[in-house]
Structure 1
Amino acid sequence: MIDTEDAASAAVQRWLDTLPGSGGSFRVKAVADGGPVWRAVTGRPGTHLGDFGARVDKATGLVQPGFVPQIGPSARDGYVSMMRTTVVPELRRLGFTGSGRRLTLQTPRHLGTIAFRQSQGNTWMGVKFTADVSEASSSSGWTARLGSISHHGCDHWWTVWAGFPSDDVAADLITAIRDHAVPAIKGERHPPGVSAADTDVASLGQRLRNAVSHRVQRRRPHNGP
């Protein structure tokens, strides 16, 4: 009896390791409940979409190649639902406005945007996506991939699979935006690619400009009543 995702994943991985010529080059990417079988997506490490699928009979443990027929919501349907019901509402609670692919965060001193983009290699089974984060202020501006300024620290892409739960994907995406992108937009942490010294210089320059402007205004003659 294969009654857990971990057991199904282990069964598929053992099967993959026995394939002729595999050389251990394939890994289980994701496992989901498919009724009487477990659905599995497999692929080479470093790729975002599955090279092929497999299914595990829950009762017998027999592993067979091939995806379960494309019945039900596609990966794109899952992505759209995740964004609409979980991600975008949470971003609005954080102060973002807009919808769809581009959302904006306006503060007294900063204007930030998050623009989502999808891979051109997406299929019915998998949707890979990331986001570009931009910030504009009176003294500076920058643009970076979300993954490079989040806890991933690189050009990270998230993946939604057809028929697979996306709760973990949504939670990780929201964490990246809430805990890393938003503080960067608000200037509470150093923007990517800008050293602390550069940020301090920009801040000092802005303070000097503000001081000069204040002194000029004080010297202007007062012509009002």
Structure 2
Amino acid sequence: MTSANPRIAEPNATPEPAPDCPLCPRLVEFRRDNAVKHPDWFNGAVPSFGGADARLLIVGLAPGLQGANRTGVPFMGDFAGDLLYPTLMKFGFARGHHTPDDPHALELVDCMISNSVRCVPPANKPTTDEIKACRQFLTARIDTLPRLRMILALGRIAHDSVVRTLGLKLKQAPFGHGAVHDVGELTLIDSYHCSRYNTNTGVLTTEMFEGVFGEIARRLGTT
């Protein structure tokens, strides 16, 4: 069991930023440019998806330009969502239909999805300062999930942000696919990000991804 320092949310921090969050000038400018090009897209800080009674929180990197930035729902319309959402349905964490053109045709069960950075970054690469600025929302999000038991970090950046949010040093909880870290009453589990690059290169296979969810389901007693 790894001990962690208490999480302390910033004063007046909320779990969800306003859609026009002004904290990161580069991301604000990028959002505005996209809004000019695609005025029918969401083009804002993407809120978390799922109910506040969730025992599982999934944390990704940031919204994809033509996916979550378009639909306003994490991973919905992103290539990564084509693996994530069917896997959630297979293990009972979602029901309905995975249809990016109708994001709310799918409902999460005992699960919430969020991102380390809530606004789409240029080239899908947020800066260190942007990750740090957005961490207040992740901290508040975790603090406002009373039944939370497990956090799944998709990729190293999400992992590092979660670890820092939980008050640990990175060396106390090194990233690794399938690695499990007990942090107080919470359990952090890692997976390679379900990105197009990782799946196309074989860094992450469907079997590997489902193996992580099988472990989550076992620990939550849903299998």
Q: Shorter-chain TM-score category?
A: under 0.3
- Structure having the larger proportion of residues in strand: 1
TM-score (normalised: structure 1): 0.23
- Which one has more relative contact order, counting CA pairs under 8 Å at least 6 apart? 2
Q: Highest CA radius of gyration, 1 or 2?
A: 1
